């Protein structure tokens, strides 16, 4: 019998594991890969997380993180607007950040089962039974779901969003390119957009969202990029002049921004498993870290105050909703302004002369320092 099983070792899973283990709880984290590894992610983190990371004992600058405080947005034809980021952020690869949190969590006493997936989770008699891909089985009092955007476990849990196909795919590269290191840029194209920002080591993360239809129409990622992304002159210049550091891009399918629930069959969902903000808002990593913190706080309260599961679930759901529901809703609304070529041109052309509106949109999708 375990106290806590955490499914998934991304930011939310690692943060919650680290917090709970430091609080004296018994934690085992299950991750299907082995650290370090790359993930499809924009790799920009809002500075709203800095006070919390410092309290954990993690200073991103010690890992070589880039300091970012400017934003550039381009339309499919290349028209641009720029804005200052009031809170600012930093750029750090998931390869580096996740691995560092993993080492911190191990040192704090977290147990890990790597290269292992979860096939099935059931709940009965106030206890979870977790079936593992290696044939093993764990029982636990609390389970956190921090396994990302979409997995077969969502099918087993019969989550509503899983029954709806998503048209989106994500593609990520690391590149060398002479862009301003203090700027995150978002470049629109037909049915998608690409973000580029500095990470550690003088390299840049280039990550874009597009549709399966675009890929199906052109057959390969390279052909699609030339036919679709190159129509934006900024992206054309990046793809033609940058040094690409991956042999093959990282790719993920079925990215969904559909509304999810933060509790399923008594499992507390964290990070993208609870809800994913649209990538153009640039705040997914910060939200994942924040949800991991919130989940850990509520689980610790559960163990310290009478093991009241109903109270645990109600309080966590309320906290999650208060912190993130509106931000995700605004993100879905903003997403509708981009991707469609004409609407994207109009949006950039209009917002260029409305700096207060741009500032408000950014504020509505970001949180306060915590």
Residue 186's pLDDT band (cuts 50, 70, 90) = very high
pLDDT of 339 above 70: no
Place of tokens 């509708």: 336
Cα–Cα dist 54/52, whole Å: 5
For residue 63, the model assigns a pLDDT of 98
Q: Would you say residue 322 lies in a domain?
A: yes
pLDDT in tens, 205-230: 999 999 999 999 999 999 999 999 99
**Residue-wise pLDDT tens digits, 288-337:** 999 999 999 999 999 999 999 999 999 999 999 999 988 888 877 777 76
Q: For residue range 72-125, list pLDDT tens digits in order.
A: 999 999 999 999 998 999 999 999 999 999 999 999 999 999 999 999 999 999
How much is the mean pLDDT over the chain? 93
> What SS3 state is found at 101?
helix
Q: Residue 283: give the domain boundaries.
A: 2-364
Q: Is residue 370 part of a domain?
A: no
The model's confidence at residue 24, banded by pLDDT at 50, 70 and 90, is very high
| 326-335 vs 355-364: helix crossing angle, rounded to 10 | 130
Burial of 241 (0-12, 13-18, 19+ CB in 10 A): exposed
CATH code assigned at 199 = 3.50.50.60
What are the b/e assignments for 103-129, b being 16+ CB within 10 Å?
A: ebbbebebebbeebbbeebeeeeeebe
Element (H, E) at 263: strand 263-264
Higher pLDDT, 278 or 220: 220
**Whole-number pLDDT of residue 256:** 80
Q: For residue 318, is it within any domain?
A: yes
Beta pairing class for 183-189 and 66-74? parallel
pLDDT band at 8 (very low <50, low <70, confident <90, very high): very high
Using an 8 Å Cβ cutoff, are 21 and 108 in contact? yes
As given in the structure block, the two tokens for residue 92 are 């750090």
CA distance 15 to 56: 9
pTM beyond 0.85, yes or no: yes
Task: Indicate whether 338 pLDDT > 80.
Answer: no
Counting the structural domains of the chain, the total is 1
Contact 348, 193 (CB under 8 A): no
- 23 domain residue, yes or no: yes
Which DSSP string corresponds to 27-58? EEEEESS-SS---S---EEEGGGHHHHHHHT-
pLDDT band at 153 (very low <50, low <70, confident <90, very high): very high
Q: Quick check: is 369 in a domain?
A: no
Sign of CA dihedral 360, 364, 366, 370: positive
């Amino acid at each position: 019998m375990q106290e806590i099983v955490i499914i998934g070792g991304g930011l939310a899973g690692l943060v919650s594991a680290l917090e709970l283990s430091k609080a004296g709880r018994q934690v085992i984290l299950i991750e299907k890969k082995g650290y370090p590894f790359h993930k499809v992610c924009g790799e920009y983190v809002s500075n709203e997380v800095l006070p919390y990371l410092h309290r954990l004992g993690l200073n991103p600058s010690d890992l070589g993180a880039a300091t970012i405080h400017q934003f550039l947005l381009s339309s499919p034809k290349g028209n641009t607007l720029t804005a200052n980021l009031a809170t600012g952020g930093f750029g750090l690869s998931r390869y580096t950040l996740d691995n560092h949190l993993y080492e911190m969590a191990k040192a704090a006493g977290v147990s890990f089962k790597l290269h292992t997936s979860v096939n099935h989770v059931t709940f009965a008699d106030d206890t979870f039974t977790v079936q593992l891909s290696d044939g093993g089985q764990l029982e636990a009092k609390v389970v956190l779901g921090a396994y990302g955007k979409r997995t077969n476990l969502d099918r087993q849990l019969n989550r509503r969003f899983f029954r709806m196909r998503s048209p989106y795919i994500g593609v990520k590269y690391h590149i060398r390119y002479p862009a301003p290191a203090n700027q995150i840029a978002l470049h629109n194209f037909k049915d998608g957009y690409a973000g580029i920002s500095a990470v550690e080591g003088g390299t840049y993360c280039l990550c874009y969202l597009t549709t399966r239809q675009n890929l199906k129409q052109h057959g390969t990622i390279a052909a699609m990029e030339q036919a679709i992304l190159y129509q934006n002159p900024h992206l054309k210049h990046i793809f033609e002049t940058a040094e690409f550091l991956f042999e093959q891009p990282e790719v993920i399918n079925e990215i969904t921004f559909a509304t999810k629930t933060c509790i399923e069959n008594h499992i507390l969902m964290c990070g993208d498993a609870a809800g994913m903000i649209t990538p153009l808002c640039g705040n997914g990593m910060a939200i994942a870290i924040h949800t991991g913190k919130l989940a850990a706080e509520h689980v610790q309260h559960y163990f310290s105050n009478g093991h009241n599961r109903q109270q645990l679930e109600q309080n966590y759901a309320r906290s999650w909703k208060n912190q993130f529901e509106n931000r995700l809703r605004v993100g879905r609304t903003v997403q509708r302004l981009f991707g469609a070529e004409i609407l994207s041109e109009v949006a950039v052309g209009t917002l260029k002369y409305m700096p207060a509106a741009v500032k408000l949109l950014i504020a509505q999708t970001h949180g306060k320092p915590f």
